[in-house]
Amino acid sequence: MLLVLVACCAVPWSAAAATRVIRPEAAVVTGPVNAGPDVVWVESRPNRRLVVRRDGPTGSADIASLPAYHREGYPVPDSEVSVAASSSYFALGAQGDKCQPDKGCASGSVTAFSEIVAGPLAGPLRSVVRCDAGRGYECRYPRRGVCPFADRLQVSDSLLGVDDLCAGGFVVRDLAAAGDPAPVLVTRFGPSGSRQTTRIAGPYAAVLDHPSFVFTPSTLTVFDRRTGDQVYRLDVQTSDYQQQFDMQSDGSVAVITSNWSRTSGCQTCPTGVAWASVAAPSLHPIPGLGLWDRATLRFSANRVALQGSIRGGTFAIYTLDGTKIADSGPIFGLGPWDFDGRTLAWWAVPCAPSSIGVWEISTPAPPFQGAHCEHVGLITKRLHINTRTRVYSITMQCEPTTPAGCLAAGVLDSHPAINLMPLARLLSRPLGPGARYTWRGRLSRRQIQLLRRRHIRTATVSVDAYARSGQLLPLRLG
């Protein structure tokens, strides 16, 4: 259920956004995103509440709240959360997944709960989507018990864009319209196995289709979202990261390209970063930019902002002629980020408490304290799950000799995999040098039943925020 916490006046975007470092009051879940001179992010508060918080020239305030889904029998304890904003509107979405009821967890998951609230920054807010597939969902989607996605929202001016399985594609709603207007289908989902990334800006929509065959070039199509007419189309070799391309309100796009396959069939795919526009609808490489295939990108006001770990964890901002106009310097523990052409905002999780950085790029980048976090070690050598209480505990420790401390993040999974989703997750937690932490959690009854039914005797445990693989531990139920 939506809870509106405070209504505050929207500030015109012309007000300068001061460069600053913000210390959040609670653990950051996602964000920040730019909203004119304000920045908006989501915090996790007690009693499993997701709270949207804004900070700007008029001060800081909570503006909305949603419950974090954590239901009995569903293996993901933390919601998938998304926040998006324009200079005057914003949207918050949260969703929870569950195993397919007829096939179990081995066949993946479906979105079982989703809720999206949206409206002006000044309020009032309204519930746009509220779905509990366990109680039945009103649309007749071929697979019953599926809710719309709420984890990849977009807001452009007053438009809210959502991937909606029931509609069969990407839909937009006009938050400024009176009443409850029906969503408008912008583009349909591609064939099974392919992946799509959609952007909306101004009167345009752009769809990057990633085919299921890896050596086939992707297709980037820009069209008029009001009429459906194609404006231009590009063949481009790029990865399927969510932020590998972006579009600004005049229909121009910027995309990270990597022509790593000679058999791709893409003869005009440069390696680096390229742009295209309505007036010049072909790929134009930006001079001097090399391989950025692991980076993420934002594009606004004819400025390209890039961030990638292969560049030392820094932000770099370029004009289309290749001129670097800003460089943040090293920032440790980078999380989600946003750029509106003038202000860059990001979430940093160094070993010190997490921070929200806001940088008006015409000024020096804000100073950040902290250093690179070291690896955390696993102390627990045998995992015991109490079948009566369904409780487990996992102890980890940061080495005493680490100068800056460690960053822990736990993932507990069965082995062999009976579940394409982790049994449990621990959000990032900083630990000081030599500090120990015991992660205690509880599995669902269904998870215990699956572990017993399939005679699972080992579990994979990862406690290192930077590691992609975990340690295999003996598992005992009793």
Identify the domain containing residue 442 by its residue range. Answer: 376-477
pLDDT-derived band at 449, boundaries 50, 70, 90: confident
Indicate if 19 and 116 belong to the same structural domain.
Answer: yes
Average pLDDT over residues 334-346: 90
Q: Is the pTM value of this prediction over 0.75? A: yes
Indicate if 318 and 206 belong to the same structural domain.
Answer: yes
Indicate if 366 and 380 belong to the same structural domain.
Answer: no
- Number of independent structural domains in the chain: 3
In a domain, 163, yes or no: no
pLDDT per residue over 355-386, tens digit each?
898 999 999 888 765 566 777 888 999 999 98
Indicate if 433 and 462 belong to the same structural domain.
Answer: yes
In a domain, 159, yes or no: no
Indicate if 30 and 66 belong to the same structural domain.
Answer: yes
Indicate if 319 and 217 belong to the same structural domain.
Answer: yes
Indicate if 37 and 115 belong to the same structural domain.
Answer: yes
CA distance linking residue 382 with residue 474, whole number of Å: 5
**Tokens linked to 74:** 């569903």
Which residues are bridge partners to 116 per DSSP?
93, 129
CATH code of 319's domain = 2.130.10.10
Judged against a pLDDT cut of 80, whether residue 147 lies above it is answered with no
* Under 8 Å between Cβ of 115 and 129: yes
For residue 475, CA distances in Å to 288, 389, 420, 464 come to: 53, 16, 19, 20
In a domain, 166, yes or no: no
In a domain, 161, yes or no: no
pLDDT per residue over 184-218, tens digit each?
888 887 665 456 788 999 999 999 887 755 556 78
Indicate if 348 and 412 belong to the same structural domain.
Answer: no
pLDDT-derived band at 410, boundaries 50, 70, 90: confident
Indicate if 98 and 69 belong to the same structural domain.
Answer: yes
pLDDT per residue over 68-90, tens digit each?
654 433 333 345 788 999 999 99
Judged against a pLDDT cut of 60, whether residue 464 lies above it is answered with yes
Q: For the chain, what is the HEC assignment?
A: CCECCCCCCCCCCCCCCCCEEECCCCEEEEEEEEECCEEEEEEEECCCEEEEEEEECCEEEEEEEEECCCCCCCCCCCCEEEEEECCCEEEEEEEEEEEECCCEEEEEEEEEEEEEEEEECCCCCEEEEEEEHHHCCCCCCCCCCCCCCCCCCEEECCEEEEEECCCCEEEEEECCCCCCCCCEEEEECCCCCCEEEEEEECCEEEEEEECCCCCCCEEEEEEECCCCCEEEEEEECCCCCCCCEEECCCCCEEEEECCCCCCCCCCCCCCEEEEECCCCCCCEECCCCCCCCCCEEEEECCEEEEEEHHHCCEEEEEECCCCEEEECCCCCCEEEEEECCCEEEEEECCCCCCEEEEEECCCCCCCCCCCCCECEEECCCCEEECCCCCEEEEEEEECCCCCCCEEEEEEEEEECCCCCCCCEECCCEEECCCCEEEEEEECCHHHHHHHHHCCCCEEEEEEECCCCCCEEEEEEEC
Indicate if 138 and 9 belong to the same structural domain.
Answer: yes
CATH code of 472's domain = 2.60.40
Indicate if 322 and 175 belong to the same structural domain.
Answer: no
Average pLDDT over residues 168-196: 79
Q: What percent of the chain has pLDDT over 90?
A: 24
- pLDDT for residue 217: 73
pLDDT per residue over 24-53, tens digit each?
888 788 889 999 999 999 888 777 678 899
Judged against a pLDDT cut of 60, whether residue 7 lies above it is answered with no
* Under 8 Å between Cβ of 404 and 398: no
In a domain, 366, yes or no: yes
In a domain, 164, yes or no: no
CA distance linking residue 14 with residue 26, whole number of Å: 30
Indicate if 264 and 399 belong to the same structural domain.
Answer: no
Cβ within 8 Å of residue 370, ≥6 positions away: 332, 333, 348, 350, 351, 352, 404
pLDDT-derived band at 311, boundaries 50, 70, 90: very low
In a domain, 30, yes or no: yes
Last residue of a domain, one of 327, 355, 388: 327
In a domain, 160, yes or no: no
Last residue of a domain, one of 261, 295, 327: 327
